[in-house]
Amino acid sequence: MKIGFHGGVGEVTGSRHLLEAEGLKVLLDCGLFQGHRKEALAKNRDIPFDPAGVDAVLLSHAHVDHCGNLPLLVKKGFKGLIYCTEATLEITAIMLRDSARLQESDAAFFNKIHARQGSKETIEPLYTEADVDACLALFTPRPFMTWVELSDKVRFRFHNAGHVLGSAMIEVETKTAKGLRRVFFTGDLGRRKSLLMDPPDVPKTVDYLLIESTYGDRNHDPVDRVESLIKTVVDRAVAEKGKILIPSFALERTQEIIFVLEKMIRRGQIPLIPVYVDSPMAINITEIFSRHLDGFSFSPEFKDYVAKEGDPFDFKAIRYVRTALESQALNDKKGPMIILSASGMCEGGRILHHLRNNLDKDTTTVLMVGYQAQGTLGRRLQDGAKKVKIFGLEHAVWARVETLHTFSAHADQGDLMWFMKSLDPRPRTIFLVHGDPSDRAALKELLRAEGITRVECPEYGQEFPLE
């Protein structure tokens, strides 16, 4: 048996690990590298093993840094099945189609600009919507906690990861000449306490653990702080008849915010004001949440709430804005109101129009609820820029910009340590993946202090034999 790390090591995108066990090649995730265009395209195009030689893909969840390169894998010859949970399949279909459309329009735009300047440089999208259809045809949903036989010696099952709807950790069990060996991949790990999700399962026996380490050197603010901060922002918007703009990721974050706002309105903690969800992708994903309300990966609190109050995503304050015309009409409406719109880092999507029209008003609040990467418009606003460029035009910023640091679908350092310390007996080796070098180093050091020393931080392309 051996494991090869072909992405998502020493960085947080492009998750891709190849497990070879008893004659089978099993790929754990096949994510998209994100970052600077040229570098990302080159990394995404380079598949360092033969896709036709892979027997099966086990997919942890629907974020594109875990599933976004699957269409290229299929285009380059993979013919096996892609296993995931039912909810992951439904959300992945939306994510991959969106990814293909973005790549096609990005390439068309790039090529047009270059041709206009007399340059012959062109780029091709990694894959198109037609490639996505071919890829989705191989998807095979399986329930949580049910063994699936890949051969008479290798089987796997999905455990709840508690990260986003449908997210799974993957346990692969192999009968080797030396006995049973269990490889456990966390994918992205959720938190012990989250607004919507059940905490991650703790598996019984793990020989080799592949665990993410995104927040290996940090802890998040406690979840309970969300409500007091939202109340302050909403009360001010009501008093000033202002608009609250929330740039939000379409998966999980949007649904978390809807749930919190609904709960607070229902309990009278904040007044009933309209909450517009202005993102077709977020709306489509929210519908998947509504269809899976009885899914067992939701937290008991959330399920209790649903049992008492019904579908939280179908509440009178929540208005779903599908068409561009309806979205534009929000400009002429007076506040108070809340507008949730993508993208989460203000790099595209309808949020740009709302920012363009409202940043110059001191009654506007921009509420950041997610990580804002360096170089994004979201980060510039968060850092207090007084002027920003949107669609090439300069806009003065009079709006207040607030940040809620509480929301994260990822385990923090405390959660990661809790998970690893709960494993008894200790794994033979722990591989730290999906984290920047400083996060992995911090976690490794902390584990060493606990006496857990068989810890590896694999590099890109590195392989390890599994005894």
Which residues are near Zn ion by CB under 5 A?
A: 63, 188
Contact 205, 182 (CB under 8 A): yes
Nearer to Zn ion, 110 or 371 (CB): 371
Q: Please state the closest distance from residue 416 (CB atom) to Zn ion, in A.
A: 14
Q: Please state the closest distance from residue 59 (CB atom) to Zn ion, in A.
A: 11
Q: Please state the closest distance from residue 269 (CB atom) to Zn ion, in A.
A: 30
Q: Please state the closest distance from residue 356 (CB atom) to Zn ion, in A.
A: 30
Give the Cα separation of 240 and 197 in Å (integer). 35
Nearer to Zn ion, 194 or 364 (CB): 194
Backbone angles phi, psi at 149, to 5 degrees: -85, 125
Q: What's the distance, Cα to Cα, between the start and end of the chain in Å?
A: 7
Nearer to Zn ion, 4 or 68 (CB): 68
Nearer to Zn ion, 218 or 319 (CB): 218
- Strand segments (E) across 161-240: 168-176, 179-185, 208-212
Nearer to Zn ion, 188 or 198 (CB): 188
Q: Please state the closest distance from residue 396 (CB atom) to Zn ion, in A.
A: 36
Give the Cα separation of 10 and 208 in Å (integer). 19
Give the Cα separation of 210 and 387 in Å (integer). 44
Give the Cα separation of 184 and 239 in Å (integer). 52
Q: Please state the closest distance from residue 89 (CB atom) to Zn ion, in A.
A: 16
Pair type for strands 400-403 and 365-368? parallel
Nearer to Zn ion, 190 or 458 (CB): 190
Nearer to Zn ion, 343 or 358 (CB): 343
Q: Please state the closest distance from residue 237 (CB atom) to Zn ion, in A.
A: 31
Beta bridge partner(s), residue 400: 365
Task: Print burial letters for 105-124: b (CB count within 10 Å at least 16), e (below 16).
Answer: eebeeeeeeeeeeeeeeebe
> Could you tell me the CA-to-CA distances from 107 to 6, 100, 104, 114, 342 in Å, in that order?
26, 11, 5, 11, 21
Q: What is the CA radius of gyration of the chain?
A: 23
Pair type for strands 365-368 and 463-465? unpaired
Give, as one character, the DSSP assignment of residue 331: G
Nearer to Zn ion, 292 or 410 (CB): 410
Q: Please state the closest distance from residue 92 (CB atom) to Zn ion, in A.
A: 12
Q: Please state the closest distance from residue 32 (CB atom) to Zn ion, in A.
A: 12
Give the Cα separation of 248 and 252 in Å (integer). 9
Give the Cα separation of 168 and 273 in Å (integer). 36
Contact 359, 396 (CB under 8 A): yes
Nearer to Zn ion, 63 or 159 (CB): 63
Residues 45, 47, 52: CA angle, nearest 5 degrees: 120
CB atoms within 10 A of CB 382: 17
Q: Please state the closest distance from residue 410 (CB atom) to Zn ion, in A.
A: 7
Nearer to Zn ion, 67 or 339 (CB): 67
Q: Please state the closest distance from residue 189 (CB atom) to Zn ion, in A.
A: 9
Q: Please state the closest distance from residue 88 (CB atom) to Zn ion, in A.
A: 11
In a 10 Å sphere around its CB, with 0-12 CB exposed, 13-18 middle and 19+ buried, how is residue 419 labelled?
Answer: buried
Q: Which two tokens stand for residue 28?
A: 């754990």
Nearer to Zn ion, 95 or 233 (CB): 95
CB atoms within 10 A of CB 50: 11
In a 10 Å sphere around its CB, with 0-12 CB exposed, 13-18 middle and 19+ buried, how is residue 223 labelled?
Answer: middle
Nearer to Zn ion, 32 or 457 (CB): 32
